[in-house]
Structure 1
């Protein structure tokens, strides 16, 4: 008989106590709160691009490097730091990371030149490096597997909402108090959230929310497996590799547009810095809403047919390509912004399905490492090169010309997802069979 939906059940929460469920949502809220701080610290820079360009006479490539260096550090360090977090303790690692990026953001506020700012931004990236992978691993460990696309999409949307707050609040503060105060405000928020997380979330309080099987895997030798075994778990199938690649490439679009939309509105619509930042924040907000809606839609569509997660990811990428390709070739005006906004709704829509597929295709004991690999792909293939490459191209052909090339990235991502879909059923059946044998 054909198995319609044999997603792994590892990670299902079997406890039904109301207080346990409530605490799970508290943990989720605080973890997403720190993600908001993460992206507020990262994206506040984009709101003050015009001010920094004037203050230090920077080129677009230099401005882009200040944004891209964060994603580069995240990409380079996410995997080793996530593996260490699996071994050292996820909660302790989260507290340490959040404290580092908050203090580094404070360092940005007191920078006196481009070089100092670049170093401070690098340390923001070091602090943020493993947070996305470790944070989502904590969340997925205390909720049912059937919610994975929704939770992953919502968690990653926290990055979009944090970007909205960072750009909007940062632009408003910068307009009244200067760009240094904008960085300082983001740093203070991060420090406050770190203190709250430190006293509310502990490994001991998380343990009752996790299924016994997950606890055994976390406490047993799985966390301390050999490097070869870890690599085998992370890259065991073609479909999981396609999920990594497709996710990374499709995120080049939001990264590039989030970074350059304030400048685009400033240059082509004549908006002042504060208004441009606030207006650009709306596009980021639309992206975040799209991530939540698309993640939930993917869960609903794949409830009975597991391959539909891949179909959904492909559809979101194609919609993004079509709408943004049209939008950036339209003349400046309200209609252009509407079309671009609709395209932004879908531009990160595949994040939820990608995360769910990675979780389904890897053991729970290495989920932090698996999401570190996903984060590595997201950053090295999309987030890290997006701003600086767009800036380099903009220096040659103008910002509008550079943004017209960006929508081709999700077209490539759709191809990767299509290849993954063709292999998913067999890969998942094989992995489930291996897990059942291991449990006997």
Structure 2
């Protein structure tokens, strides 16, 4: 009975009835579907720009540097604001934050459709970044709060894979719309999709319903803050394992980010494929990477349900497989054997994403989980998704792109070292976090 009262408590005074069994089963998946849909909208709004590059370049006489800046400003804004806005989401309310963020990026995307010149379009892109900055961390925190611990790697992997799927959908759909109706409608349609999903999320999800369905099982020795308790922010970096999870995930995504940015050019130069065919093959590779994130997360949850330490073990295996297959693949001559090796390596390249999210979740309190996932997002961007394309480009200027891609997989050695250290420290780290919580 006490468990039901605690579960239904909303504001510390009023007590709502516990949800019925069918609602308890259905509601978490409704939350996941709507949150995942908004994630697709997030990346569709971000990536639709690349589909209309040729039209913007011709109409406004833009340089490639100007076009690239329109893309980079979103990633830069997300990287800078991810942690502070995630913290704001934890403190202000996650549902309200999601509704506000989705509204901002959707209206900013509509503003892109109405832009009269480059400056206005740049401002719209900046605001898209503001809206999207903390969505990945806050949205994932909402999802993880209503599911049991043994689904965390699967849900994190699927959620992060949504970025790959959304990028491909946004580019393909935006290009088709631009050819038929003009480039402004590409932005307009993305804005409409986003606003519809925001409205649906607001109708079906509230802080009260999330509180009634929140799972606080405290499994695996996970630290669970009490009702109304806010964990200390120093726990974001309070143990060696959580720091190792940030670093290992970020370094592994260095490889994924490099593949994402440079694989089309590699296929163009190594196989002499026309630009459109190279982009098409690269899109398939990106979808394969997204599928790998989902599958690797599911396998991790399956294997680690009874032994938590296996989350680290599976992450180490995914990183090692990626290192070996990509390292050998880029070292051999172009051809069928190389493509097969690269396909396997690409599948596992971001496979650590799900386990990393589960590790960070288990090592931090639920009350600051969005902030912790925002910190993971920061590491993924600074060490991986932003650094990878840039450093690979610098190496390509010195070694040629084919030579640079032979070096990229070696970053996986650093990821492996971080993950091995995190695994060794994991039991002691969990115990330390719990001791600090009890003493607080």
Q: TM-score range by the shorter chain?
A: 0.7 to 0.9
Q: 1:361 aligns with which of 360, 363, 381?
A: 363
- 1:359–1:390 Cα change, 3 Å: same
The equivalent position to 1:208 in structure 2, one of 208, 212, 225, is 212
CA deviation after TM superposition for structure 1 residue 394, in Å: 4.4
The answer to whether the 8 Å contact 1:46/1:259 transfers is no
- Quick check: 2:147–2:215 contact (8 Å CA) kept in 1? no
From 5, 23, 27, the equivalent of 1:23 is 27
Q: For each residue in 1:76-125, what CA deviation from the matched residue of structure 2 results, as whole angstroms up to 9, or x when unmatched?
A: 11111111111211111111111222233334445566655544333222
1:126 aligns with 2:130: yes
Q: For 1:251, what is the secondary structure of its paired residue?
A: helix
Note the residue ranges of structure 1 that are not aligned, 5 or more in a row.
1-10
| Aligned residues of 2:115 and 2:121 also touching (Cα < 8 A) | yes
Deviation of the 1:65 alpha carbon? 4.3
Q: In the aligned structure 1, how far is the partner of 2:263 from the partner of 2:58?
A: 18
In the TM superposition, residue 155 of structure 1 has moved relative to its aligned partner by 1.4
Listed one character per residue, the Cα deviations across residues 378-431 of structure 1 (whole Å, up to 9, x for unaligned) are 112112233344445545655444444332332221111111112111111333
Task: Give how far 1:42 is off.
Answer: 2.4
- Of 250-259 and 17-26, the range deviating more from structure 2: 250-259
1:132, distance to aligned residue in structure 2 (A):
0.8
Residue aligning to 2:287: 285
Match of 1:297 in 2: 299
TM-score (norm. length: structure 2): 0.84
- Normalising by structure 1, report the TM-score: 0.84
Task: Kindly indicate whether residue 350 of structure 2 is the aligned counterpart of residue 348 of structure 1.
Answer: yes
Instruction: Report how many residues are paired.
Output: 419
Does structure 1 residue 381 correspond to structure 2 residue 386? no
1:338 aligns with 2:346: no
Find the counterpart in structure 2 of residue 84 from structure 1. 88
- Report the RMSD for the aligned CA atoms in angstroms: 3.1
The residue aligned with 1:194 is: 198
Q: Say if 1:373 and 1:221 are closer, same or farther in 2 by CA, change over 3 A.
A: same
1:22-42: CA deviation from partner (whole Å, max 9, x where unpaired) = 011101100011111112222
Quick check: 1:97–1:131 contact (8 Å CA) kept in 2? yes
- Pick closer, same or farther for the CA change 1:157–1:71 going to 2, 3 Å: same
Q: Secondary structure at the match of 2:80?
A: helix
Counterparts in 2 of 1:386 and 1:146: CA distance versus 1, 3 Å? same
The one-character-per-residue Cα deviations of 1:211-243 (angstroms, maximum 9, x if unpaired) are: 4799x9586241xx6xxx31x221110110111
- The 3 A distance-change label for structure 1 pair 392 and 407 is same
CA-CA distance at 1:270 after TM superposition: 5.5
What runs of 5+ residues in structure 2 fail to find an aligned partner? Answer: 1-6, 8-17, 219-223
Q: Following the alignment from structure 1 to structure 2, what is the Cα–Cα distance between the partners of residues 356 and 73?
A: 25
Please say which of residues 41-50 and 404-413 is displaced more in the overlay: 41-50
Q: Look up the match of 1:4.
A: none
Query: Which shows bigger deviation, 70-79 or 266-275?
Result: 266-275
Cα deviation per residue 1:21-65 (whole Å; 9 max; x = unaligned)?
201110110001111111222233445566667775644x66554
* Counterpart-to-counterpart distance in 2, 1:324 and 1:115: 41
Query: Could you tell me which residue of structure 2 aligns to residue 6 of structure 1?
Result: none
Q: 1:72 — aligned with what?
A: 76
After TM superposition, give the deviation of residue 180 of structure 1 in Å: 4.5
Measured against aligned partners, the alpha-carbon deviations of 1:103-158 in whole angstroms (never above 9, x if no partner) come to 33334445566655544333222111110110111111111112111111111121
The alpha carbon displacement at 1:191 in A equals: 2.2
Alignment match, 1:97 = 101
Aligned to 2:252: 250
- Corresponding residue for residue 155 of structure 1: 159
Higher relative contact order (CA 8 A, sep 6+): 1
